[in-house]
Structure 1
């Protein structure tokens, strides 16, 4: 950092950084990793203890040679500066074994802490009081028995992110997330399998009545339930496995047996519990069984608030939402395995959303399969107020694409204002 400006002519140099107040300097240091913030103590006498007043601590083991050395530094810094004025605390470990790093109990009773991020397991103390009256954001890696106690000590918590959950973190059956104040909940990689030595599955239970945004990725729990209210406006749900979540081509390696795995009643009921959302993104590599689909057809759950739907699932879900989401305006259909692209014109009557609300449809990874043409033809013929349909081709064969475009242009359109776009 160049803290001076060279003089011009006979004008003396000016140290503009040192002319700033301590409060401004601490604010600047709060944007730096703690290792760099502490390193500024060698600049001058004034800077020697300035880092100790920075309200943000950010530790990352990737900046250190060994975990033992890193743990010593974390504990040393906390000891030297205290935690009374901490607003943000981040601690990241790449190695799961971080038993050398023992966070002081006073960190969990800090009155000023607003943002707490702990990226390693066993981060919540097994005993002692948890009282974080100002904490609004909590991001933890893994879940242990202390989760419920942790949440009960955060009376104003607004955002909770739980990353990487598996049965090794648990010595009880259910993960229970309960809070009257959380408005944003993200759960990633819930690798919770059945335990063959017991008669039931691990479960995930969500009770967050003020929730507005929910994201669940890679949840393998057979039992998942949620008590949600009309406050929920957006949900992003993925029933894919952990290593499939971010892969565009995750269906390529999927075996037939994996595809045969159907939805559990808990999963289908969980989707129905999202009935008040306005925007829903749903992803899964599973397929409906005949019994499951018949059971869903008898359900009376409606999605009357849903206006935007983003699907990467068995196309039988389309029938479900067409019949129950009367106010649907935007439909996005993403890539799924060919065996999940089974379109049947099930509705005996044209769904209300097609007659009066559906204005935009986007279909990605179009492969020119016959079921895809059936779906496009059905929507074009019945969507009375459709303004735009976009079709994004997966194939690069010019002749195949040209023939597909010509065929689609000949389909009957229920909306004369509909614009077709091909990409």
Structure 2
């Protein structure tokens, strides 16, 4: 094959990257840290000022030798950004004891520029109450992530006002430490909230924690710190509930729940006759102590009775072994499951039990009313 050297030369000399539209270049650079973005833009005269019009500002302190230098860089970017252009996303990741002025300035910038997505992942010593009050009444935010706020703080007396918010993720946070507060309601004004994640958090001595969200569809409660409160989920559209290592006194869940995942200590208590449309259910109790007790077996069977509508059920093997240890209890209770398509016994946390046959009493209790259901043994 012969090549036209003149055509090849023209292709090599042509700067195709610089001919890309600004919008596409912004999309490419938005996945990088702003320090890298600024450095990259300096490589081309065509790109020289592109960093001043970035719609997504991603700041990380890891590439700086000190927080003051990082703060100076952030201030430089914010002050030189084209204020006539929209900023949709601001992300801030920092380690160490950042000054309150530094973080507050970024939050105020996000508020004044009607940012739709804000992420602040910072020092565990930075208090929630250090944030400017305007943050908790933003009408533009759709996605908010706050993490690294595990020091004590007192929540506002009124619910947070985020009418446009659809996704909220709070991590390493104490929501309330006021001993005079008996109940807590933070989310009732978040009328469009669909996804809520609370992890590594505490609600202090609050007796009732109300999660009032009319459009919430996905809720995760993970690694709660000794929470003895009653959790009221007033969320009629909630479909998926995930609870991981989170202790509570009582959980009042909505009846229309479709997916339930629970991993934690027994017992797990729900209101009676709450669930009528469960599709996927996974239950794992990570500790029954040194031996199975009749009281634990009774509570576990009561829980399984409440999950009667499940179609795809996964149980940790210790749950099955617990109820199997008291066959006379099983013989006095009919099988609650009439909709099962599959039952999975998970052996991953108890390798020694793998290979043991399911007792006749346990098999009847779990599968008698769903004879066509598939039984799956998940190996370690």
**TM-score interval (norm. to shorter):** 0.7 to 0.9
Change (3 A) 1:175 1:71: farther
Number of aligned residue pairs: 345
Paired position in structure 2 for 1:177: 186
Paired position in structure 1 for 2:344: 362
Q: 1:310 aligns with which of 282, 285, 305?
A: 282
Q: 2:170 aligns with which of 162, 167, 172?
A: 162
Task: Determine the C-alpha separation between the residues in 2 that align with 1:375 and 1:73.
Answer: 68
Query: How far apart are residue 287 of structure 1 and its match?
Result: 4.7
Task: Determine the C-alpha separation between the residues in 1 that align with 2:200 and 2:377.
Answer: 31
Paired position in structure 1 for 2:29: 29
**More moved, 310-319 vs 21-30:** 310-319
8 A Cα contact 1:359 1:385, kept in partner:
no
Q: 2:371 aligns with which of 385, 388, 409?
A: 385
Task: Determine the C-alpha separation between the residues in 2 that align with 1:20 and 1:80.
Answer: 23
3-state secondary structure, aligned to 2:171: strand
Query: How far apart are residue 218 of structure 1 and its match?
Result: 1.0
1:10-409 equivalences under 5 Å are 10-11=9-10, 13-81=13-81, 85-95=86-96, 97-99=98-100, 101-104=102-105, 106-110=108-112, 112-120=114-122, 121-122=126-127, 125-128=131-134, 132-141=138-147, 142=149, 144-145=153-154, 151-152=160-161, 154-166=162-174, 170=177, 173=181, 176-178=185-187, 179-192=190-203, 200-201=205-206, 204-219=209-224, 220-240=226-246, 267-268=249-250, 270=251, 272-287=252-267, 300-313=272-285, 316=297, 318-334=300-316, 344=326, 346=329, 348-353=332-337, 356-365=338-347, 367-368=352-353, 373=359, 376-379=362-365, 382-394=368-380
Task: Determine the C-alpha separation between the residues in 1 that align with 2:82 and 2:18.
Answer: 25
Change (3 A) 1:100 1:383: same
3-state secondary structure, aligned to 2:314: strand
State TM-score, norm by structure 1.
0.70
Change (3 A) 1:376 1:390: farther
Query: How far apart are residue 326 of structure 1 and its match?
Result: 3.5
Flag structure 2 segments of 5+ consecutive residues without an equivalent. 289-295
8 A Cα contact 2:111 2:134, kept in partner:
no
Cα RMSD (Å): 3.5
Task: Determine the C-alpha separation between the residues in 1 that align with 2:97 and 2:361.
Answer: 48
Change (3 A) 1:350 1:287: closer
8 A Cα contact 2:236 2:254, kept in partner:
no
3-state secondary structure, aligned to 1:65: coil
Task: Determine the C-alpha separation between the residues in 2 that align with 1:96 and 1:216.
Answer: 28
8 A Cα contact 1:202 1:221, kept in partner:
no
Task: Determine the C-alpha separation between the residues in 1 that align with 2:24 and 2:208.
Answer: 48
Query: How far apart are residue 349 of structure 1 and its match?
Result: 4.3
Paired position in structure 1 for 2:293: none
**More moved, 15-24 vs 318-327:** 318-327
Task: Determine the C-alpha separation between the residues in 2 that align with 1:339 and 1:20.
Answer: 63
8 A Cα contact 1:307 1:327, kept in partner:
yes
Query: How far apart are residue 18 of structure 1 and its match?
Result: 0.9
Task: Determine the C-alpha separation between the residues in 2 that align with 1:134 and 1:307.
Answer: 35
Query: How far apart are residue 311 of structure 1 and its match?
Result: 0.3
8 A Cα contact 2:206 2:229, kept in partner:
yes
State TM-score, norm by structure 2.
0.77
Flag structure 1 segments of 5+ consecutive residues without an equivalent. 1-5, 194-199, 241-262, 395-423
Change (3 A) 1:147 1:108: farther
8 A Cα contact 1:110 1:131, kept in partner:
no
3-state secondary structure, aligned to 1:57: strand
